[in-house]
A and B are shown apart, each in its own frame.
Chain A
Amino acid sequence: MTAPEKSALEALRHRIRAFETGGGAVRPVFRPGLGAIDRALPGGGLARGAVHEILGAGGDEEDGALPAAFAALVLRRLEGVVFWCTGAADLGAAGLAAFGLGPERLVIARTRRDEDALWAAEEGLRAEGVVAVVAEVSALPDVAGRRLQLAAEAAGRPLFAIRRWREASRAARERERPSAAATRWRVAALPSLPPPGEPGVGCPRWRVDLVRCRGGHPGSWILEFDDAAHPRAFPADAADGPAVASPGRARA
């Protein structure tokens, strides 16, 4: 690529970014505090006024355990009340607290239907005193997704949409569907690596895929926890330890 082509590309990127942010200057971001992942994100962090999707992998698409923990991990750096709407109401508060989201910061709503969850999430984005919203939904229709994106942008608060599906077939269909979200993450468990000779379960290890990212590049990382407040992230390609089969690294 020659120099003029490069500058033309840069100019185009700049213009597209301007469209996406409504012509505004730099979008405010917050740093999730995940080392290498922070650095790979456009602007050095997650956009504040945007929708971020978090998916599980395999059986966890139904349980939503890792996405919940990932949301808690990301939100530990934001101060203030987090509004969490969940259909199953199966949150383990002690477990979330271990990832940095204490119960005193959580306001929970049990929503029986997706429509209620989407409505509550939108209200939550507009509410004063809420710093971020987490919504567990199975369907995220285009229109609803754009509404939430606009509400998030207007309020300057992030919405984390944890996608949970009951049936594998539905999961397979929905997983690849494009959405209005700024980022889409997929979090999968990896076998723990306890020191040799030590019995029992080791510290958690996750594979975190940034499947799509508006204005940035997808990526994959391994996240290791020595203690839950200070995870270490390094690119999945450079991971030492046993090679882990990536479940078809999707690009958006």
Chain B
Amino acid sequence: MAVADAQALLPALLLADADPAADAAFLARLAEWCRRWTPYPAVDGSDGLLLDITGCAHLYGGEQALLDEARARLGALGLSSRGAIADTPGAAWALAHYGSKAATLVPPGGARAALLPLDISALRLLPEDAQLLARLGLTRVEEVAALPRAALARRFGDRVARRLDEAFGAAPEPINPLRWRPAHRSRLAFAEPIGAPEDIARAVRRLIEDLCRHLECAGVGVRRLVLAAYCCDGEAPQIAVGTARPARDPRHLAKLFEEKLAAIDPGLGIDEMTLDATIVEPFAARQAELRIDPPSRAAESREGAAVVAMPLRRASSNARKGGDAEDLARLPWVPKPPKRAEPASPAPPIDDGLAAFIDRLAARLGPENVFRLAPVESHVPERAQQTLPIFAPFKRSWTSSAPRPVRLVAMPEAVEAVAPVPDDPPLFFVWRRVRRRVVRADGPERVASEWWHESAPPRDYYRVEDEEGRRYWLFRAGLYEPGLAPRWYLHGVFA
């Protein structure tokens, strides 16, 4: 429609020049904003987004809920949208553009059935191919799909057949997602490839100093750093280090890398290095304690790739307000600080010097190997103490008055024991091939599994002393049953 015609129909019509560059930039920012649902958003053409939501949907209550949420949030931004979730990018694209409903959810394996009644434009064909098919009287997908493959190939090469296969899931179609842009990055390119360890160390120091200046300007500290070295031979080894608290002291960060730089094999030489701060947190606000979350459970995913395609039309811009609009304005995305738990007890005596030391330990030994032991209210010995990350809050102290051993073996070790009467402590036991005679014993202390845990047989614990005065913690698993030899285990050694 020409502008003059349109103005004749609606004199109050607002006019704006098309600005494809700005639209593309907006779409890219919107794709970045979609990282709330998936790590792999991609821009599709000039008006669409493709999200690879494989393994993500359950976090939002299922695929239907994810689709509804996405459309609702886009609506709050003042954007009208159509969306579809399907097994393949092609099917999702087709249903989002040509489906009968604004939001379509295709069940797994249903892509073919959902596509057949659609117009052939849904196959993303080249314009001339689509025209030719139309001239031949083929207007719907099912008509094209019913044609013999050989005839299609003779006329169109593999172009049409490939689009069909991609849409039906018979051929793979990769999505090209936006690359993750770290919040802070420093980069160093070399005129000549470097390879000597001292050169690498010096380059890393410069990268760190550079990055720390950025961090200081932004008022943040880094929790995780990734160093990448791009080698001439195409290798790109990476080293990641983490800190227990936000840090931006170049000397401390350099120390964390010192231990690991040897792992970089420069090969024929390194021509570029980058250092990314992948997790940053506010630095000025001192945190009383930090919680390191346990690794998340494996994501449930449905078979094959689940994809959302979403063509967008931009509505009047004055509708863009509210929380999401503010979110969008703040792109690129900067992680928010984690919610802090209320301190449950006086904070453990940990200061900055110690935090730096903990980071060095974790860098060399692995973070899971640096911990504290915290009491847990449980009578079951292996549950009564819990390993905690260093900066986790401390809850309470032990309440049990019964003596507990100084050494607890990780898994109770089976011992051969001879006990006279059902409830008596053993007379002898053989542990690690040494036979020990029991001279004195305390017990039994019966420990039953908590009812909300799986039902393990109750245990009768005995504290026994051998002839040399050494004390052991033994237990008999299960109640006495006639005709069944009781099983004895050693669980710890007393001082």
Contact = CB atoms under 8 A, between A and B. Distances in A.
Given A189-B470, A191-B439, A92 B408 contact: yes
A102 B397 contact: yes
Contacts of A191: 439-440, 465, 467-469
B405 A95 contact: yes
B65 interface: no
Nearest to B347: A104
B399 to A, nearest CB: 10
B176 interface: no
6 contacts: A83-B357, A94-B385, A105-B349, A107-B354, A189-B468, A201-B465
Shortest 5 CB-CB contacts between residues of A and residues of B: A128-B353, A69-B495, A127-B357, A129-B354, A95-B406
B364 interface: yes
A176 interface: no
A174 interface: no
A111 B400 contact: no
Contact of B442 (A81, A126, A200): A200
A199 B495 CA distance: 20
Interface stretch (B71-79, B187-195, B371-379): B371-379
Nearest to A124: B357
Interface stretch (A38-46, A58-66, A178-186, A213-221): A58-66
A192 B407 contact: no
B358 interface: yes
B390 interface: yes
Nearest to B385: A93
A124 to B, nearest CB: 7
A201 B354 contact: no
Contacts of B356: 127-128
A192 B353 contact: no
Contact of B375 (A72, A93, A202, A205): A93
Interface string B454-470: 00000000011101111
Contacts of A119: 364
A90 interface: yes
Contacts of A98: 403-404
B248 interface: no
Interface string B186-220: 00000000000000000000000000000000000
How many interface residues does chain B have, given as a range? 35 or more
B365 A95 contact: no
Count chain B CB atoms within 10 A of each CB in A72, A89, A205 and give the residue with the most: A89
A120 B365 contact: yes
Contacts of A35: none
A109 interface: yes
A90 B470 contact: no
Interface in B114-151: none
Nearest to B431: A59
A84 to B, nearest CB: 10
A205 B470 CA distance: 10
B390 A89 contact: no
Given A80-B349, A191-B465, A201-B465, A95 B494 contact: yes
A199 to B, nearest CB: 8
A193 to B, nearest CB: 10
Contact of B440 (A68, A188, A201): A201
Nearest to A116: B365
B353 A129 contact: yes
Identify the interface centre among B352, B374, B387, B470: most chain A CB within 10 Å of its CB: B470
A94 B440 contact: no
A92 B354 contact: no
A99 B406 contact: yes
Interface string B381-398: 000110100100010011
A130 B405 CA distance: 25
Given A92-B405, A95-B405, A192-B469, 4 more contacts: A81-B349, A89-B410, A104-B349, A106-B372
